[in-house]
Amino acid sequence: PAAELRRTTLPAAMSVATTDSSGGAGIPVDLKTMMACGVFAECCVCAITAQNTKGVTHIEELSPVAIRKQIDAVFDDIPPQAVKIGMVPSIEGITAVADALEANKAVNIVVDPVMVATSGAKLINDDAIATLTSRLFPMATLITPNLPETRVLLETIGSDLVPESEDDMEQAGHLIAEHYSCNVLVKGGHGLADANDLLVRTDGATQWFYGERINNPNTHGTGCTLSSAIAANLAAGASLEQAIEQAKLYVSGALRQMLDLGSGSGPFDHAW
Ligand code: PLP
């Protein structure tokens, strides 16, 4: 009966990103991850992709007005305690996201600087990278580049370092954190033997997060999952270090389920 209905609260987190029709990456996996991490999941769709485990066949963007209206609507009613920003392909889209998050005083922003999919598909226009770094990095609590993205970010600040080793990651992390004044988690999984990631804070403090490599060829959506789990954990009140540590445990646990769907690099199991 209605009289027994009790209103409970739950921290909320929001994904500002792009859909993946196959459910393994982007907004669908962000929402699955946030719910699995115990927070209420909200989203702003910036673009859609037609894609499956074999590749991306179409990308279509929403208008800046549609982006603004989604973010305003969410903040007007159930404001999230953390926001994850993923794939936003264009200057116009990134500008709309930045303007909306600024106007709504968003906090705990985790930026996954998504550039290229594992399948090779380009997920951001070349001319939009400067807008990503100039508008979104200053508002970020954390940015989470993988090694190929770290290399692109190094190029934007005039460094020709090709990060491959843990020493390179230390150097890269300091250069990026200093230049862009934001905390950076350099993710080593694309180059190191294990999935070891390095946090470099704006004050120069560093911390390694170690993760054993899990021999699973189905890794579609790993980066999306990690950044949305970090955002969810921040929304639930974790410190940045705790949020990263718990997010890595979540990704490893999901990968260990050894789900094998699709004929390409498949998604992993969020219902474990
Ligand atoms: N599709 C969308 C919408 C994404 O946001 C991403 C990554 O962020 C990808 C695809 C690529 O995922 P992966 O490189 O893990 O296959």
Q: Tell me the CATH number at 209.
A: 3.40.1190.20
- In the reported structure, the alpha carbon of residue 25 is separated from the centroid of ligand 1 by a whole-number distance in angstroms of 5
Structure tokens belonging to residue 206: 């560093």
Phi-psi region of 160 (alpha: psi -120 to 50; beta: other; left: phi over 0): alpha
For atom 2 of ligand 1, the residue with the nearest CA is 26
- Beta-carbon neighbour count of residue 116 at 10 Å? 14
The predicted complex's ipTM stands at 0.93
Is 153 inside a domain boundary? yes
Say if residue 118's pLDDT is above 90.
Answer: no
Is 74 inside a domain boundary? yes
> How many folded domains does the chain comprise?
1
Identify the band that residue 119 occupies on the pLDDT scale cut at 50, 70 and 90.
confident
Q: Give the active site residue among 221, 225, 248, 266.
A: 221
Spell out which residues line ligand 1, taking CB within 6 angstroms: 17-18, 20, 25-26, 49, 51, 86-87, 114, 117-119, 123, 220-224
- In the reported structure, the alpha carbon of residue 221 is separated from the centroid of ligand 1 by a whole-number distance in angstroms of 6
- Is residue 224 among the annotated active site residues? yes
Q: What is the DSSP letter of 125?
A: -
The radius of gyration of the chain from alpha carbons, rounded to an integer in Å, stands at 18
- Is residue 187 among the annotated active site residues? yes
- List the domain range (segments joined by +) for residue 160: 13-255
- In the reported structure, the alpha carbon of residue 128 is separated from the centroid of ligand 1 by a whole-number distance in angstroms of 17
β-pair partners for 41: 13
The vertex-85 CA angle with 84 and 87, nearest 5°, equals 135
| pLDDT tens-digit map of 11-59 | 999 999 999 999 999 999 999 999 999 999 999 999 999 999 999 999 9
| pLDDT tens-digit map of 76-110 | 999 999 999 999 999 999 999 999 999 999 999 99
Tally DSSP H helices, then E strands, for the chain. 8, 9
Whole-model pTM? 0.96
Strand ranges in 121-187 using DSSP code E only, listed in sequence order:
142-143, 184-187
